[in-house]
Structures are given as C-alpha cells and as structure tokens.
Structure 1
C-alpha cells in the first residue's frame, strides 16, 4: 500500500451511472462495468435503515453493487474471483484491499468482481445475500465471461472474508432472500445455484467480527470449499488464524496458507501473496 494514503481506504467506488442492474443489463466484457445487485424495490432485508439514521458509511438508500473488471484482453481465462473489502463493517476499503488485488488477478487471466456489500446497520446475513447475488449473476453469465460456471471463487479481507464465510456457511446454493425477508419476491436469478468452488481468507477467518469460529460442527455443516489463508505474524488475530487453520486441517478440509513474518493486519494486495494465490486457485479449478 506504499502508493496509497491512509485516507484512501475510505474512498468509495463509483456507483452505477443509472438504474443498471444485474437483471436489466447485459454483461459487457469490453471494459469495467458497474451494476446494482438488486432491483430498487426488491432488496431482501431484515434491518430497518431509515432516512433519519445517520453516522454510517452509506446513506439509508444505499443499494449493493458489483464492479466487474474483465481479465486483460489476450490472456487465457482461468476463472472468476469475487472480492470483498474489509473495514470492520464500518467502511469498505476497496482502494487498499480489493482494487490492487483485482488489478493483479485480471493480468493473470481471472475475471474479477468487487462486491460493495451492505455494512452496518445491516447484518452480515444481509451482506451474505449480496455476495450470493453476485455469484448467481456470474454463474448465469458464465458463457459471456468465458468461464466454467464451477470456476468461481469468493475471497475477502478481514470483515470481507467474514462476509465470504457467512455466504458459504449459511447462504449459498439454493438459499435466497426469502429466508430473511418474507416480502422478497424471488426472480429468475434465484433459480441459479449460488455456488463457489474456493475461498480466500486474507487476514480473515470463518466466524464473526473479531471472533473465529472453532465450532467444528458448524464448519463441517457448511461443506466448505478449499480455502486459502494469508495473514501476518504481527496481526492481533494471528492466534485465531492459526487455531482455525489447524482445526480445518484436523477436520480434513482442503486448506493452504501463506504466513507473512512480521506483517500486520491490513496489508491488502502487498506481501507477494497474490501470484501464489492465483497458482493455487488455478490448481483448485483444474482439480474439480
């Protein structure tokens, strides 16, 4: 993050220019495309976020969206990666987390998708539906993106990784917005399984904010895909990363890790791990 200032982590990615959504707009791989994930009057929610509530990163009328960054033209397409930034559910640090990594991965042949998921006052359950929606959109347009529909990974940094984990543990496959909101009207995208074949936990873990899950029953029930961990030894959550990794190994889960000596929390795409992650991910996709 040497070229970025501390304030860059609070910068917001551009929203769609008009009411372009994953339902009403055709995917376009000729350049960066930004689409809302939900139709304006049909976003499942169990949280009330009203106009008189302030002090949050997003406005009350925020709509989650996805920024699609296609693989560099001329590269062999290897699959798709869905990225979620960290920020303790207080903000989304896209300019320090997801953007540098997406820019790197697209050079290596991956179609990349950054999800601006819901933050507080919403819960990570609602954010998980945003992740699932993005995965469904990509799977339904796998031919356009030139990928096998099974070659989709989710990954996240800190809270973004927790968000990816919440999706995989409780909101993947056939689960849709109706599970949280009886007013939600399922649409044709909900008929597409929200399935990811790999997960990247970058200074993150399965669990909730600041607390790694050590519940073996919960982790087994989630039928989790191969998981790649990357974290530093100076991270305040280092012990929890180690404990969960060892538990996952003991469970027989397919896991890999890179541990950065003397690195802290929040290193984003720095540390030289991205290319190793890309090699691991390509191998996972090829072994399915």
Structure 2
C-alpha cells in the first residue's frame, strides 16, 4: 500500500496545532508536526486498538534512516490497528539533550492528544533501531512518568557507551570526542534499568559487526535482573541495519514474532 506524505500547517510540539487528513480507501489519517518533525499515522477508527508506537530511526546519531527504519513500517502497524509515529529527531552533534527532548516531547504529545487521536494513554510504546535504539532506551530508563513509554521495541540497539562494546560513531556524535567517565556511565543504559523500566522485545542478528550483540545481551540481563518482562530474538545472520527490508532473510519470521509479542503483551 502506498501512503501519502504531505506537509500540513503545524507548530511546535509544545503548542500543537495540526490539520489531519481523513482516511481514504483504507489509508491512515496523517498528522504532521514540526519542531521536531513527527508524522503520526492513525489507522481507520473502526480498526483502531488504542495502542500506539513512537519510532526513532537509527543512523549513528549523525543521520536518520527514515525509510526502512521509519516510514516503511507504517502498513505493518496500522494493519494491526496501531497508531504509528515517526520522529525525525534533532541530531545531537555533541549536545545529547536535543534528541532526548524531541523523543520525550513526542511521547508527551501522543498522551496529550490521546483522546482526539483514539490512543490509550497507558499503551504507548517506543521503538528504536541502532542509535535510535539507544535513544529509545534512554527515554525508557531516564524519563519521568509523563514521558516514559509503556513498552519498548528495539532493533539491534546501541545500549552502552563503554569502550569495549559501544558503537564509536554513535558515542562521538552524542557525547563528543572525549566524553567524561560520568557521561559514559550516565548514557550506558544497561546501568540505568530499574523495576519501573517498561517491558521490551529486542531483535538482532548474531553476526552484527556494526553494533555488537553484547549491547543487547547486557540490556536484556539488566531487565531480567530488575524483574522487567523482556524477550530477545537473535537471528543467525543478517548483520546490521535490516529494519523492514524484505531482503532480510528472516523478514517474515521477524514480523510474525513481533506481532505475536505485541498480541500477547
């Protein structure tokens, strides 16, 4: 299905004014917001479950992979009656507060407009791929209750800022050339998990050389130790960055496993 993307009159997330495109021929209603750019795709009202997913594409905190890690997922989530938002967050260039604010503002905006958009305030998840996974887990482990998501979907995420396992490009873009030890520990999200961290599913490939699997393993272990429900699926091959790409060998299996997790959650 081909989805229309169109610019609408919009204002900042803090003072939102939007124009919504009504659904036509089964297509979603689309709401476009600027500063940061967030596009919300609402399923037809008759099919809506009230669940929502806020997506943060990857790109090493230096660019955004908004296709296969962003907009390509629209039919999948809307097809299950799930509202889906893609956040084109600000790249940090060493200022880690910028993407974090965009991501937390996005969650808050979904909750603030839950009634008019047909969303349940306690069923809003966050999804992130690679560096977007780091941003997603930063929100999940650092945000207060107003911006904390209700569940996490993580694809081959960067989790740690520690030398031995981090993705160097992501760390440099987020924390700068020579981050302090305090910053490294603050943004190593495996160290920030508590019993209040939301449930998660983590999906990755065993042969990922871009973001080594130890990131996901440490986060899963931290969730498990904190008593937070967590699932992890490790595919034997595929490398890094497959997202929604149909060329990924386990594409169909991955979609089915994610659907099963979402259905059973």
- TM-score where L is the length of structure 1: 0.70
SS in 2 for 1:230: strand
The CA deviation string for residues 138-165 of structure 1, in whole angstroms up to 9 with x for no partner, is 1111112212210100010001111111
Contact 2:92 2:98 in 1 (8 A): no
Counterpart in 2 of 1:102?
Answer: 74
> Measured at CA, do residues 224 and 120 of structure 1 come closer, stay the same or move farther in structure 2, by a change above 3 Å?
same
Large movers: runs of 4+ above 4 Å: 14-19
How far does residue 172 in structure 1 lie from its aligned partner after superposition? 3.4
Q: Is residue 28 from structure 1 mapped to residue 29 from structure 2 by the alignment?
A: no
> Structure 1: how far apart are the matches of 2:222 and 2:60?
24
> Structure 1: how far apart are the matches of 2:11 and 2:236?
44
> Structure 2: how far apart are the matches of 1:134 and 1:214?
20
SS in 2 for 1:265: coil
> Structure 1: how far apart are the matches of 2:194 and 2:91?
27
Aligned residue pairs total 225
Q: Is residue 220 from structure 1 mapped to residue 201 from structure 2 by the alignment?
A: no
Alignment partner for residue 80 of structure 1, among 43, 52, 56?
Answer: 52
Alignment partner for residue 102 of structure 2, among 130, 148, 153?
Answer: 130
How far does residue 33 in structure 1 lie from its aligned partner after superposition? 1.9
Contact 1:97 1:268 in 2 (8 A): yes
Q: How does 1:18-57 map to 2 (within 5 A)?
A: 18-22=9-13, 23-26=15-18, 28=20, 30=22, 31-36=29-34
Counterpart in 2 of 1:262?
Answer: 237
Q: Is residue 198 from structure 1 mapped to residue 151 from structure 2 by the alignment?
A: yes
Higher relative contact order (CA 8 A, sep 6+): 1
How far does residue 83 in structure 1 lie from its aligned partner after superposition? 0.2
Alignment partner for residue 39 of structure 2, among 67, 88, 98?
Answer: 67
Contact 2:200 2:231 in 1 (8 A): yes
> Measured at CA, do residues 140 and 256 of structure 1 come closer, stay the same or move farther in structure 2, by a change above 3 Å?
same
- TM-score where L is the length of structure 2: 0.75
List runs of 5+ in structure 1 lacking aligned partners. 1-13, 37-62, 174-192
SS in 2 for 1:102: helix
SS in 2 for 1:25: coil
The CA deviation string for residues 198-238 of structure 1, in whole angstroms up to 9 with x for no partner, is 0111110533462894754x2227x3100110001111212
Contact 1:165 1:207 in 2 (8 A): no
SS in 2 for 1:96: coil
Contact 2:107 2:124 in 1 (8 A): yes
> Measured at CA, do residues 17 and 27 of structure 1 come closer, stay the same or move farther in structure 2, by a change above 3 Å?
closer
> Measured at CA, do residues 105 and 78 of structure 1 come closer, stay the same or move farther in structure 2, by a change above 3 Å?
same
SS in 2 for 1:144: helix
Counterpart in 1 of 2:181?
Answer: none
> Measured at CA, do residues 244 and 196 of structure 1 come closer, stay the same or move farther in structure 2, by a change above 3 Å?
closer
